[in-house]
């Protein structure tokens, strides 16, 4: 349990792959008074990511090759829990999301108003004016509408890489069973919904520039199809037509086995 006097232990995790050009900018804008520890997991980078991370004095974990974005998050969350985190915030080291907003994204968790908080690019303002490609915007709107219907929520966006979790969420959902690819982001949201955790969102601006991560049209299309599959299997699980261990909480599984 967090110490009431000092507040929760907030651990920022950075899933990194070839983020050498933007890592320092991202780290320097983190509000250090709100963060207890920064963990970087390098997923087989071939640039200067590790050199910069060492210069910054980050807690570093290294994959021996590029296993994928989802695999990177699995290591991020596992190591954050092992470090005693009460709250875990994922901040992409590509400087696309504003790292200075960490206090805002954790506020609903600290106040006990939510269990998961997503930083939405579409809650306020225009993502198109900020540089989001039009085809990505259209796909985002379609998938978000579908996911809201499937999950029974009213979020403005599900496809953000800026997220915060209470420790209990990561201890409960079976994130280790998720994909090693980009659809991990949607799987863990579906798991949080299945476990009946409260999900909130805040508005965050975003930046689109050459050094920032951006999936190609083909990769985004494959990602969209995989999200449809997640929704399909979630609905089958929810209605008892086909149980999936991905959507069973770890605590529920342990209870059944004991």
User: How would residue 131 be classed by pLDDT, with cut points 50, 70 and 90?
Assistant: low
Decide: 91 and 14 in contact? Cβ < 8 Å. Answer: yes
The pLDDT tens digits for 222-237 are 899 999 999 999 999 9
pTM of this prediction?
0.90
Decide: 58 and 40 in contact? Cβ < 8 Å. Answer: yes
Task: Report, as an integer, the average pLDDT of 170-181.
Answer: 97
Residue 153 exposed, middle or buried by CB count within 10 Å (0-12, 13-18, 19+): middle
Task: Indicate the domain borders of the chain.
Answer: 10-257
Give CATH superfamily name and number for 10-257: Spore Coat Polysaccharide Biosynthesis Protein SpsA; Chain A (3.90.550.10)
Query: Cα separation of 65 and 127, whole Å?
Result: 33
C-alpha closest to that of 42 among 19, 24, 22, 25: 19
Q: Which helix (H) or strand (E) holds 80?
A: helix 69-82
CA atoms within 13 A on the CB side of 67: 16
The pLDDT tens digits for 194-218 are 999 999 999 998 776 555 555 667 7
State the helix-helix crossing angle for 69-82 and 184-194, rounded to 10 degrees: 50
């Amino acid at each position: 349990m967090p110490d009431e006097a000092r507040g929760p232990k907030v651990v920022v995790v950075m899933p990194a792959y070839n983020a050498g050009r933007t890592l320092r900018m991202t780290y320097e804008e983190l509000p250090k008074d709100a963060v207890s520890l920064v963990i970087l997991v390098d997923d087989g980078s071939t640039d200067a990511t590790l050199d910069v991370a060492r210069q910054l004095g980050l807690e570093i974990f290294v994959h021996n090759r590029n296993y994928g974005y989802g695999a990177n998050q699995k290591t991020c969350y596992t190591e954050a829990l092992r470090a005693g985190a009460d709250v875990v915030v994922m901040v992409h080291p590509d400087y696309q999301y504003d790292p200075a907003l960490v206090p805002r994204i954790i506020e609903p968790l600290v106040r006990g108003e939510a269990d998961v908080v997503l930083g939405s690019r579409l809650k306020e303002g225009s993502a198109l004016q900020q540089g989001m490609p039009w085809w990505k915007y259209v796909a985002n709107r379609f998938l978000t509408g579908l996911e809201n219907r499937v999950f029974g929520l009213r979020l403005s966006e599900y496809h953000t890489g800026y997220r915060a979790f209470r420790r209990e969420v990561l201890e409960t959902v079976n994130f280790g069973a998720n994909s090693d690819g980009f659809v991990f982001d949607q799987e863990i949201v579906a798991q949080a919904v299945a476990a009946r955790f409260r999900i909130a969102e805040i508005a965050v601006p975003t930046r689109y520039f050459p050094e920032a991560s951006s999936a190609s049209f083909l990769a985004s299309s494959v990602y969209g199809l995989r999200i449809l599959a997640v929704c399909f299997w979630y609905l089958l699980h929810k209605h008892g037509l086909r149980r999936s261990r991905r959507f069973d909480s770890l605590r529920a599984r342990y209870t059944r086995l004991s």
